[in-house]
Amino acid sequence: MGKTSTRALRERLAETLARAASGEEILVTRRGKAYVRLVPAGPIKTSGARRKYPLRGTLRFLADDFDRPMSEDWEALRK
């Protein structure tokens, strides 16, 4: 694990981020004490579409009278 100070991080941000992205864990210190730890992000999950649209790719059927006028039904409800 690499170690750097907040001042050095500001001065060499791009280089430090490249090291972290390549797999190295970097401990950033502030006033000599551990402050944050930079770690690689890892692969991004792309399975969000499955959870967002669970019925995608499945067959769905509508009733034959799906689009018929509902006047008869409304009349029945009024009684």
Tens-digit pLDDT string for the chain (79 aa): 899 999 999 999 999 999 998 989 999 999 999 999 999 887 766 555 556 666 777 777 788 888 877 777 777 887 7
Say how far apart CA 72 and CA 63 lie, in whole Å. Answer: 17
Map out the domains of the chain as residue ranges: 2-38
Domain 2-38 has CATH 3.40.1620: yes
Say how far apart CA 42 and CA 23 lie, in whole Å. Answer: 9
CB neighbourhood size of 19 (10 A): 17
Can you read off the two tokens belonging to residue 78?
């009024």
Phi, psi values for residue 44, rounded to 5°: -90, 130
pTM value?
0.52
Say how far apart CA 71 and CA 37 lie, in whole Å. Answer: 66
Can you read off the two tokens belonging to residue 43?
């692969």
